[in-house]
Structure 1
Amino acid sequence: MRNYPELQVHFELFDRQIDLVQDNIDLDIRINDEIPDYYIAHLLTKNKRILCAAPEYLQKYPQPQSLQELSRHDCLVTKERDMTHGIWELGNGQEKKSVKVSGHLSSNSGEIVLQWALEGKGIMLRSEWDVLPFLESGKLVQVLPEYAQSANIWAVYREPLYRSMKLRVCVEFLAAWCQQRLGKPDEGYQVM
C-alpha cells in the first residue's frame, strides 16, 4: 500500500456470510469455496483445514484411528454462520466423507476454539496455516493427518477489476502477500 498513499482501507471482521451489496462492501476475503455465482472471485491461495488437538487431550483420550471415532470425542465446533451444524466434511484425496461431531464447547469465534484446543479441551478443525506455529512447537498435534477439508482463500468482489483501480490494487496486493507467505495457488493441496 506504500505505492498508493491516497488509498484508504477500512477493514472489518465478520463471523457471518456477508452480502457485498447489502453490506456495502467492495472486497471480501473468504476462507471457503462457497461463492455465489453472481460474485467475481480470485483465488489467492489454496488452503486446507486439518484436525488437531493438544498433547494433553490426547494423553487423556486415545487418538482416533478413523473419522467415525471422532463422534466419541469432545470436538470443538466453530459454528460458521451456524451452517455446519456439527458436521465436518473431510477428504483424503480420493473421497469425501461427512462426520457428525459434538462436544461440550462450541463458539462462533475461531480464536476461542483455538484457545480451547491449546488448553486441551478437545479436537478442532482449523486452517493449517493458522495452526502451523503450534504444530511446529508441539503445542498441538495433527489428528488423522490423511484427512482435511478444503478451505481455499478467495478475494470476492462485485465488479470486474478493470473498473476500479483501488479494488485491483488491493487484490494484487493480497495475492502477492498470500503467495509470499502461504504459497502460490497452484502449489496448494489436493483435498476432495
Structure 2
Amino acid sequence: MDRVTAATVFNRICELGSLSAAARALDISRPMVSRYLDEMEKWAGARLLHRSSRRLTITPAGEKILEKSRALARLAEDIADQGTQRDVQGILRVACAHSTATHILGPMIPAFLARYPALRIELEINNQPVSLVGERIDLAVRITNDPEPGAIARRLGECVSVVCASPAYLQQYGTPQTPQDLTQHNCLHYSRFAGQRWQFNDRNGEVITTTISGNFSAGISSVLCDAASAGCGVAMVPEMEARAAINSGQLQRLMPDFTPKTLGIYGLYMSRDRQPAALRLFLAAVQQRLAEDVPAAS
C-alpha cells in the first residue's frame, strides 16, 4: 500500500479521534482506513493506537510516529504542490455564512492565495442556503447536520457549540446547572429556526432536549454572542464565536456536564468528476484548518 497515504490516514485518525470520522473526512471506506492503519503499524513495528469500543488512545510509540507522519505528509504535499501550482488558476467562488467566513475561511484564505497566486477567490457571504448552479457557486461551506440534497456533501470537520452568559447576567438571575434550568432563563436564539429546542448529551451519552424561549433572536451568531456579553441572556453559539469573549471573561461557559449537540461542517459541490485542482486543494486546506482548530477541553 501507499505509505504516504497511510501516513495521511493515520494523521486524520489522530486528529479526529476515530476511524469512522477519518473515513468520512477522507471520503474513503471505514475498512480501507483500518487497512491503512494496519499498514502504518506494520511499518512502525509497534502498536500505534489502543482501540476499544468507546475510544481510541494513542500509544507512546504512536506519539513519536505521529510527529514523523505529519512531517512526511507535509513533505509529500510540498512535492505535489510544485506540479499543481501551475494548474491552480482561474476563479473559485465560495459561499458561506458570516461566522464561517469570520472564523474559518477568512483567516486561511490569505495563506492559500499566497501559495497559489494565479487563483482568484470570490467569497459570497450569505446565512441562507444558496443554489450552487443558479448562483454559479463552486463550493458552499455549511454548518449543519442536514446538508441540502442535490449536491455532494463532504464532511470537513465539526462545529462545537457552547452555552454561555455574562457574569453580570448570572449574578442577577442565577446560573443554570442543567438543561431543564434553561426554561427559567432568557435564552437568545437563532431567528431562522421555527422551533426553539436545544439538544444536549449528558456524561452518559443520553440525549436531552429542552424547549427554550427568550426576548431576542438573530440570524448571525456574532450578534447573539454580543448580546450575551452585554448581559441580555443565555446563548448557545459556536465555540469559535465565543472563544475570545470566554477567554477575556466577558462570557462564562455553563453546564459543563452537558454537551451541546455537535454540528457537522460540510463542503457542498456538484461533482466529483473532473474536480478542479483549486477546489480539491481548498477543501483539503479547510479540513486542515479545522483539524488544527480543535477547541481545548473546558
The reply to whether TM is greater than 0.5 is yes
| Whole-angstrom distance in 2 between the partners of 1:134 and 1:188 | 15
The amino acid that maps onto 2:201 is G
The amino acid that maps onto 2:252 is V
The amino acid that maps onto 2:233 is G
Shift of residue 75 of structure 1? 0.5
| Whole-angstrom distance in 1 between the partners of 2:177 and 2:168 | 18
1:18-167 alignment to 2 at 5 Å?
A: 18-79=130-191, 82-92=192-202, 94-145=205-256, 146-160=258-272, 162-167=274-279
| Whole-angstrom distance in 1 between the partners of 2:206 and 2:129 | 27
CA 1:60–1:161: 2 relative to 1, 3 Å: farther
| Whole-angstrom distance in 2 between the partners of 1:84 and 1:142 | 26
Identity %: 25
TM-score by length of 1: 0.85
Q: Secondary structure at the match of 1:31?
A: strand
The amino acid that maps onto 2:142 is R
Shift of residue 37 of structure 1? 4.7
Question: Gaps spanning 5+ residues in structure 2: where?
Answer: 1-112
Q: Which moved more, 1:15-24 or 1:63-72?
A: 15-24
Cα deviation 1:126-165 (Å, max 9, x = unaligned) = 1112212222221111111222121232222111175222
| Whole-angstrom distance in 2 between the partners of 1:101 and 1:154 | 27
The amino acid that maps onto 2:197 is I
Kept in 1: contact 2:198–2:260 (CA 8 A): no
Kept in 2: contact 1:161–1:168 (CA 8 A): no
Q: Could you say what the CA RMSD is over the residues aligned between the two structures, in angstroms? A: 2.2
Q: Secondary structure at the match of 1:8?
A: strand
Shift of residue 17 of structure 1? 2.3
TM-score by length of 2: 0.56
| Whole-angstrom distance in 2 between the partners of 1:95 and 1:128 | 22
CA 1:188–1:10: 2 relative to 1, 3 Å: same
Shift of residue 104 of structure 1? 1.0
Kept in 2: contact 1:47–1:188 (CA 8 A): no
Shift of residue 46 of structure 1? 2.3
Q: Which moved more, 1:67-76 or 1:92-101?
A: 92-101
Kept in 1: contact 2:163–2:235 (CA 8 A): yes
| Whole-angstrom distance in 2 between the partners of 1:119 and 1:128 | 18
| Whole-angstrom distance in 2 between the partners of 1:136 and 1:47 | 18
| Whole-angstrom distance in 2 between the partners of 1:176 and 1:58 | 37
Aligned length: 183
CA 1:161–1:57: 2 relative to 1, 3 Å: farther
| Whole-angstrom distance in 2 between the partners of 1:61 and 1:78 | 22
CA 1:120–1:24: 2 relative to 1, 3 Å: same
Which has the larger Rg? 2
Structure ranking higher on relative contact order (CA contacts 8 Å, 6+ apart): 1
Kept in 2: contact 1:46–1:188 (CA 8 A): no
Task: Tell me if 1:6 matches 2:112.
Answer: no
